[in-house]
Structure 1
Amino acid sequence: MSLLYPRLLRARAKELAEEYRTLDLASLTARWSAYDDSAVYVATGGARVQPDQLTELRQTVLDLAERSGYPNPPTQDQKTTFDLTLAETLHRNMQLAPAEAAAGDVWAFLALILLPDVAHWRYPKPPGDRVRGSDLTRHVFGRLWWRAQLVHAPEDASPYGALKVLGESAFDQIYARRSALGGSSHLIKSILRVWNNLDLAGLTERNVLREFLKRLLRLAPFVLFDGLDDDALDEELTAVAYETIAGILSNAGATDREAAERARKATARCAPGSLSTPAEPAGSAFGEWLVDALIRTGVTRERLATKLGVTPAAVSAWLNGRSNPREPLKRDIAVVLGMAPPSESRSE
């Protein structure tokens, strides 16, 4: 059963956020409580969390903070360890429904009433959005619950293992676009699977992710991501990653062939079923020709798929050398692109 948490009214949250910026940790510790006169609950949606449960939650979070140096200022490594551990702990223990977790007032109560000392230890003299819940991508606790929610895979041996795939700023990029991406945890988990197997040596991860998400958003109106199984979705996102990397390198001055080769190397480990040792490509000659042809003609993977009546994932498999189209389809491709395919490519 999900629990309902007290919500700190905005005027009260603003008042406390300003007042607390001038207090030291000892004073803040003296101010914590499991109750506040201005706190309210929504009428329905679960059972109200009890004061003893809130007290237990506080002690659990405080224990984690102490392992990371509390009350002394934490190092960067201690901050990272605390955040990753706390993300899993909050998600496991709070019994929050996503609708409840989307309410900033809930997180304002945690940061300003239940755990003001821990919140201000993690972010000394914090700006308002770190404690008031006005921006959940920035909130000291709310952002961590949502990171865990986005990656949680209960069927896996390590349900929260993907928390370590991306850093905080990368998760912020994904979380900020969750509405446009349909809020799909299925899609988010696929992004993390693909991302975990990309070879981004020599590239800036933040820039690649930003461009990757832009391309994904353009694709979103045409692809029902939740309708694809894991392998098909991973295939789709691998193709988006390939195009992203090739595009970034081309814009940076690489030749078309250099960009295509680097993009192929970057995504070689992302194919479903070959995450450890990539198999030899089945039709690399045709794949190389098709990459060149798309770049030269300016035809996108999606447009070619539409013209041929196939899925973008099928085109991706040709581009990455995992399969080849049969001869009749090769002729159709040649017509669409106005270029003859290599005669030595074998079909499958």
Structure 2
Amino acid sequence: MSLLYPRLLPGESERLFASLHGRQPEELARFADVTSDRAIFAATGGTRVTRDELRLLAADLEKFAVANGFPRSLTTAGRNDFDRIAARHLHERSGMLPGEASQRQVWAFLALVLIPHVCAWRFPMREGVYLADRFKGTDLTRHTLARLWTRAHVLYDPSLPDPYELLAGLGEADLDHVMARRRSVAATPALVRAIVRAHTEDSRTNDGIPARAVHRDTLRRLLRLTAFLNLDWMSEQELLELVREQRRESRRLLAETGVNVADL
């Protein structure tokens, strides 16, 4: 049975998000809490998460962030490593099922009440302002934490020695390009897994063509195919062969035209 998490009321989400602007993460850490008077639980569908469980979740996520250089040494590798370990932890240990994880106000609570400072470390202010999508849950594919749970859920493969192995198959930017297409490519989880598998096995090809260029051109080809192919009826192996075929065609075209990765 799913654990139920607090759901921050929409008005409170707006108020707390507005209060973040101009404040450094160190200040936000002082306001972090495991409860809010303006949060509710779903009436049915699971067991309510306890305050101790929320404290442990917050402590673990902060520990992962610090271990990867936050907040002082922010590198691309550190951010990617944090995303991967946090994604696995959220999916493996949070006790959420998809129904609970689909609730925007759950993620608003986690980002605005439980660990606002960690989210601010991961996505710092720009000109004194934080980005709403990273905190409020208006778009779960861009929320600091929700996007990680979703990636782990989609890429989870129990047939592998490590079921979360595919999380390391693509970097942040390239995986974001896939998951952001939630009405087309990302609507078929098996296709997402096939894309990551094919990229992992094909990125070792030493022909001078950047793996990112092949990946992005392949993604465009797959987007066109989703307009008239029902991919939900294809097996995982059939989808993998489809992606491999599109990657071969992309690689051939890029080799002939000499298209630079910066043009993609």
State how far apart, in whole Å, the 1-side matches of 2:10 and 2:73 are.
29
TM-score, normalised with respect to structure 1: 0.66
Counterpart residue number, 2:109? 109
Residues 1:18 and 2:24 are matched in the alignment: no
Amino acid at match of 2:252: A
- Report how far residue 133 of structure 1 moved: 1.4
Residues 1:120 and 2:109 are matched in the alignment: no
Q: Which has the higher contact order (CA 8 A, sep 6+)?
A: 2
State how far apart, in whole Å, the 1-side matches of 2:208 and 2:245 are.
20
Match of 2:239 among 221, 233, 238: 233
- Report how far residue 251 of structure 1 moved: 4.7
- Report how far residue 207 of structure 1 moved: 4.0
Amino acid at match of 2:103: A
Amino acid at match of 2:246: V
Amino acid at match of 2:100: E
Residues 1:211 and 2:254 are matched in the alignment: no
Residues 1:53 and 2:70 are matched in the alignment: no
Amino acid at match of 2:133: D
1:170-249 to structure 2, matched below 5 A, reads 170-181=174-185, 183-198=187-202, 199=205, 201-220=207-226, 222-249=228-255
The CA RMSD over aligned residues, in Å, is 2.4
TM-score, normalised with respect to structure 2: 0.85
Counterpart residue number, 1:38? 38
| Deviation by residue 1:2-44 (Cα, 9 ceiling, x = unmatched) | 1222222333222222222322333222211111122123333
Amino acid at match of 1:15: R
- Report how far residue 71 of structure 1 moved: 4.8
Counterpart residue number, 2:162? 158
How many residues of Structure 1 are paired with residues of Structure 2 in the alignment? 253
| Deviation by residue 1:52-106 (Cα, 9 ceiling, x = unmatched) | 2111111111221232234534333322222211111111111222232233222
In structure 2, do the counterparts of structure 1 residues 70 and 213 end up closer, same or farther at CA, with 3 Å as the change threshold? closer
Cα pair 1:14 1:128 within 8 Å, conserved: no
Over the matched positions of the two proteins, sequence identity in percent amounts to 35
1:138 partner SS: coil
- Report how far residue 129 of structure 1 moved: 1.5
- Which protein shows a greater Rg? 1
Counterpart residue number, 1:335? none
Structure 2 unaligned segments of length 5 or more: list them.
260-264
State how far apart, in whole Å, the 2-side matches of 1:39 and 1:201 are.
55
